[in-house]
A and B are shown apart, each in its own frame.
Chain A
Amino acid sequence: MKERKWTFATTAIVAGLIALSAIATMVIRIPIPATTGYFNIGDVFVVLAGLWLGPLAGLLVGGIGPTIADAIGFPVFIPATMVTKGLEGFLVGLIASQAKGSSLQLRTIAAFVGGFTVVAGYFIFEAYIYPALGKSMPAFAITDIGAAIVEAFPNTVQGIIGAVGGLALWKALSGYDPGRK
């Protein structure tokens, strides 16, 4: 694994990516009426953060950026988004950090593992966790397994767009590493 030092430059870039992922999540929101969830392109920056800066950056960008966007309009999805997107960024960074040089193969696998994490994570939350929470907290009683199945398709498209977009942006930015020793 490459040795990566966390510098002030890394902090600034991660903060920028958090803000951009929040904005990208908010700008193009296509609501899915079944679950009150929505389709968005914020995953592009989550995948980019994991590929470019490693698992910790991916975790922070995924866990914070889209969560900020959810707080504006869709607050009930904050727990699901924080966990799912945080895990997405972390796994992308973890797998990509094993790649040698500028090899694309492992990074492509990492990006699509991230996309799959989005689909699986939201399905688990909407099919099982939210209905269970909804029994004691009515605010979470917004989904069931049927709605979760319906939302799996747009989430799959979202995961693919995030993976492909994130890979494309990484290819453009990979020449600069703010934390390389």
Chain B
Amino acid sequence: MPWWLKLVLLLMLGLPGLSGWPNTWFIQQLQATGLFTLELAHVIVWVVYAGCVWLVVLLSVGPHKLLAYLGAAFVLALTVAMLGAILRSLFPLLAAGLSREATSFKLIRIFINIIIFLPYSVLFINSFSAKKLIDRVAHLDGRYRTVGLHLALAFRVFQHTGEVVFNLFQIWIEEYPEKIIPRNSGGPGIRWYTPGKLLVWIWGCIHAWIFACIIHTFEPIPAMVAEVERIDRANHKHKEHKG
């Protein structure tokens, strides 16, 4: 499939995220039936849309990658929703007068947005070949070639970081099964100091995960830069010979 057709189709798929249309129209139609409240109509329409996006991701990258993307998306979405709910309970002032139902609906909307657009974003980034882009740009002349090589290199780094992040989620889940899978948990059970230990554990996980992210993201960058510089130098030499 030509790259421009892929781009058009992906932009059409992501249109509800950018403009709300046609989902807002469907929500209005459902509400007009009188059978659904705004909140229920919103959830129904966006969950159906989520299914459509996941189907496209499944057909594009296969079931294993879809499950990896969904795993990361649900972890992030649940973290956001749960933290938001905890914060609402601990600091009611942060709700600034919103009712509990309105706050809950906001958190549900955020949850649904994340589980839709995280897999969609990764699909978008990985749908285009950075290598083909670099090869095509290498044949341009002058300033366009230099700018194009910079953009192609940036795009390649984005793709690499996306791969690193999802692998790190999987590694983290495998290293800390006791918190995720109850049958693996041992120890004395819940004690008065358990919340403190949980916070320390959470901080340790985040710290380790962020540093692993930094190291794995920057590790292959010298090789990527060397490749692009080689292409740039090869093109310079070719131009000099022709001149």
Q: How many residues of B contact A (CB 8 A)?
A: 51
**Within 8 Å of chain A (Cβ to Cβ): is B150?**
yes
**Within 8 Å of chain B (Cβ to Cβ): is A75?**
yes
CA distance A75 to B17 in the complex (A): 8
- Which residues from A are CB-within-8-Å of B217? 16, 19-20
CB-based nearest B residue for A146: B96
Give the shortest distance, in Å, between A143 (CB) and chain B (any CB).
9
Residues B66-87 near A (CB distance < 8 A)? 76-77, 79-81, 83-84, 87
Give the shortest distance, in Å, between A81 (CB) and chain B (any CB).
15
A31/B153 contact (C-beta < 8 A), A9-B225, A16-B161, A23-B165 known: no
The listed residue (B93, B103, B155, B221) touching A16 by CB distance below 8 A is B221
Residues A124-139 near B (CB distance < 8 A)? 139
Residues B210-242 near A (CB distance < 8 A)? 210, 213-214, 217-218, 221-222, 224-225, 228-229, 232
Cβ A71 vs Cβ B209 within 8 A: no
CA distance A175 to B21 in the complex (A): 49
CA distance A36 to B96 in the complex (A): 11
Cβ B121 vs Cβ A72 within 8 A: yes
Cβ A38 vs Cβ B80 within 8 A: yes
CA distance A75 to B116 in the complex (A): 13
**Within 8 Å of chain A (Cβ to Cβ): is B113?**
yes
**Within 8 Å of chain B (Cβ to Cβ): is A109?**
no
**Within 8 Å of chain A (Cβ to Cβ): is B45?**
no
Cβ B228 vs Cβ A72 within 8 A: no
CA distance A112 to B33 in the complex (A): 54
* Majority-rule SS of B interface residues: helix
Cβ B224 vs Cβ A12 within 8 A: yes
A139/B20 contact (C-beta < 8 A), A13-B218, A72-B113 known: yes
Using an 8 Å CB-CB cutoff, how does the interface string of A142-154 with B read, 1 for contact, 0 for none?
0000110011001
Cβ A23 vs Cβ B106 within 8 A: no
* Majority-rule SS of A interface residues: helix
- Which residues from B are CB-within-8-Å of A73? 77, 80, 110, 113-114, 117
Cβ A33 vs Cβ B225 within 8 A: no
A31/B218 contact (C-beta < 8 A), A8-B229, A23-B161, A150-B93 known: no
Give the shortest distance, in Å, between B213 (CB) and chain A (any CB).
6
Using an 8 Å CB-CB cutoff, how does the interface string of A10-34 with B read, 1 for contact, 0 for none?
0111111011100110111111111
**Within 8 Å of chain A (Cβ to Cβ): is B171?**
no
Give the shortest distance, in Å, between A177 (CB) and chain B (any CB).
14
Cβ A8 vs Cβ B228 within 8 A: yes
- Which residues from B are CB-within-8-Å of A23? 161, 165, 213
Which residues of A approach B to under 8 Å, CB–CB?
8-9, 11-16, 18-20, 23-24, 26-36, 38, 68, 71-75, 139, 146-147, 150-151, 154
- Interface pairs (18), CB distance under 8 Å: A8-B150, A9-B221, A11-B154, A16-B217, A20-B161, A26-B118, A28-B206, A29-B80, A29-B83, A30-B80, A30-B84, A34-B95, A34-B98, A36-B110, A38-B84, A71-B117, A146-B96, A151-B94
Which residues of B approach A to under 8 Å, CB–CB?
17-18, 20, 76-77, 79-81, 83-84, 87-88, 93-98, 103, 106-107, 110, 113-114, 117-118, 121, 149-150, 153-155, 157-158, 161-162, 165, 206, 209-210, 213-214, 217-218, 221-222, 224-225, 228-229, 232
